[in-house]
Amino acid sequence: MQYKNTTIVCIFDGDKILMMRKSAGMKNFSAAVDGHGKGLYNFPGGKCKINLETGAVQSFHDCAIEETREETGIIPVAPFLIGQLQFVWPDIVLVNQVFITDKHTGVLKPKTEESKENLWVPVDKIPYDKMWPSDKIWVPHVLARRPFHMEVSGPADGPVCKSLPLDFSIRAR
């Protein structure tokens, strides 16, 4: 089984949260995953990079900031870890750290190579019907600023989600 470190970043601006609509879906993960998520709304984030010369893996924190800036033009300031999601596919496990922050700089790009649309969405109007089914389960934890650790497995259209013990150092602010 292959493992990849990934991030999700939820940035709040008052009563709104930064979202994006994916243009191409997931890329360069595995045969089972690539292409999934095309056209769905999600939050910025992505894969932690590996330095091919040294083998060093980018930290989750640095990845969260870099991927958000690349995808949206917004730079999260002092993001902190609120949760962990493990997405289990037949040939890969995505170990995903979820960060949140109320502070940011930069200018929102309306769209980028990876997103058809970037926008601030009122938290009471999050388009769950146009997102991954599992988002309905973990996103409320983010909105409540409640730490979580979950495993998501099964088909993308009907995943099985289970809570896991909080076995990593996270704290709500």
Report mean pLDDT in 10-residue bins for the chain, 173 residues: 90 97 64 64 92 89 96 97 89 90 97 89 97 91 94 70 65 43
Which CATH number is 2-163's, of 3.40.50.20, 3.40.250.10, 3.90.79.10, 2.40.70.10? Answer: 3.90.79.10
Task: Round the CA-based radius of gyration of the chain to a whole number and report it.
Answer: 15
What contacts 117, CB < 8 A, 6 or more positions away? 20, 21, 110, 111
Query: Do residues 14 and 72 lie in contact, with contact meaning Cβ atoms separated by under 8 Å?
Result: no
Look at residues 10, 31, 44 and name the one whose alpha carbon lies nearest to residue 118: 44
pLDDT of residue 23: 76
Q: What is the pLDDT of residue 15?
A: 97
Q: What is the predicted pLDDT for the residue at 130? A: 93
* Whole-number pLDDT of residue 134: 87
pTM for the whole thing?
Answer: 0.87
The C-alpha angle 99, 101, 106, rounded to 5 degrees, equals 110
CA distance 101 to 117: 21
Among all chains, which residue has been given the structure tokens 């879906």? 25
Residue 161 pLDDT: 72
Rounded distance between C-alpha atoms, residue 22 and residue 25, angstroms: 6
Question: For the segment 32-49, what is each residue's pLDDT rounded down to a tens digit?
Answer: 555 566 788 999 999 899
Position 173 scores a pLDDT of 42
